[in-house]
């Protein structure tokens, strides 16, 4: 044996190899028993796990479609007839008269006026008022604008002279041998009376004054234009001659 340890021996004796194999096998068996016994004990204490089975269910069927809407004719038959709206300005009798009518409360501060209302009226209206409110009041057309006097002549004919007063020849003018022609412009109002006289050509102060006094007393027929009386103006010529004064 010492030769094996020291390496001096060149080969192992055959009679020593058998005990080594037997010893090694014995150790292996004992080690396996030591390891296997605890494993068997632990395995027996583990509870059994029930087998789980998974099933894949098919998707549910889609819901049925909604029923179709009823026909338009059926809807018209079942529709409740609505009363026609009342026409403004007409009274419609109610189907059932209520036993009593209570006015709705209102706040006077919240009530505003409406176009066409009456100044100083009752807020919210009054019982027995006008249906639809007061009618719109259309103001009368404005009177035609007053126009100035028109000059007669051409298409505008001179109205007829109703009253003519001859001028007075003053004696002082006769003694002074004063004579001549006085041309006046007279304005006649809507009634045909002379409202104003102006001297266009003077002969003498004495003759001008007497001509104005005479023409102011003349009277004409009214002048109508489009059915309306209008003032007018015209020219008047008066002659003063001594021969006429002597006669």
**Are 149 and 229 contacting, i.e. CB atoms less than 8 angstroms apart?**
no
Specify whether domain 150-246 bears CATH 1.50.10.10: no
Higher pLDDT pick, 69 / 54: 69
pLDDT band at 1 (very low <50, low <70, confident <90, very high): very low
pLDDT, tens digit, 9 for 90 and up, residues 40-51: 766 666 656 555
What tokens appear for 11 in the block? 């080969």
Higher pLDDT pick, 45 / 215: 215
Share of the chain above pLDDT 70, in %: 57
> Would you say residue 9 has pLDDT above 90?
no
CA distance 214 to 174: 18
Q: What does the mean pLDDT of the chain come to?
A: 76
pLDDT, tens digit, 9 for 90 and up, residues 142-153: 766 667 899 998
Instruction: Kindly give, in sequence order, each residue whose CB lies less than 8 Å from that of residue 178, ignoring residues fewer than 6 positions away.
Output: 203, 204, 206, 207, 240
How much is the pTM? Answer: 0.43
């Amino acid at each position: 044996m010492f030769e094996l340890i020291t390496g001096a021996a060149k080969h192992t004796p055959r009679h020593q190899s058998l005990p080594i194999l037997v010893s090694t096998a014995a150790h292996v068996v004992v080690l396996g028993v030591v390891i296997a016994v605890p494993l068997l004990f632990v395995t027996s204490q583990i509870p059994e796990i029930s087998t789980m089975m998974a099933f894949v269910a098919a998707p549910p069927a889609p819901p049925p479609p909604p029923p179709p809407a009823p026909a338009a004719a059926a809807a018209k038959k079942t529709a409740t007839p609505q009363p026609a709206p009342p026409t403004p300005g007409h009274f419609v009798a109610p189907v059932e008269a209520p036993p009593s009518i209570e006015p709705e409360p209102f706040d006077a501060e919240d009530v505003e006026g409406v176009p066409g209302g009456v100044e100083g009226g009752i807020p919210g209206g009054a019982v027995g008022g006008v249906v639809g409110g007061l009618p719109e009041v259309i103001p009368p057309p404005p009177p035609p604008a007053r126009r100035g006097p028109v000059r007669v002549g051409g298409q505008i004919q001179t109205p007829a002279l109703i009253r003519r007063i001859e001028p007075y020849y003053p004696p002082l003018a006769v003694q002074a041998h004063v004579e001549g022609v006085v041309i006046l412009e007279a304005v006649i109002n809507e009634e045909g009376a002379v409202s104003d006289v102006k001297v266009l050509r003077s002969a003498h102060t004495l003759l001008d004054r007497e001509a104005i006094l005479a023409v102011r007393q003349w009277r004409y027929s009214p002048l109508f234009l489009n059915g309306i009386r209008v003032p007018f103006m015209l020219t008047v010529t008066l002659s003063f001659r001594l021969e006429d004064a002597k006669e």
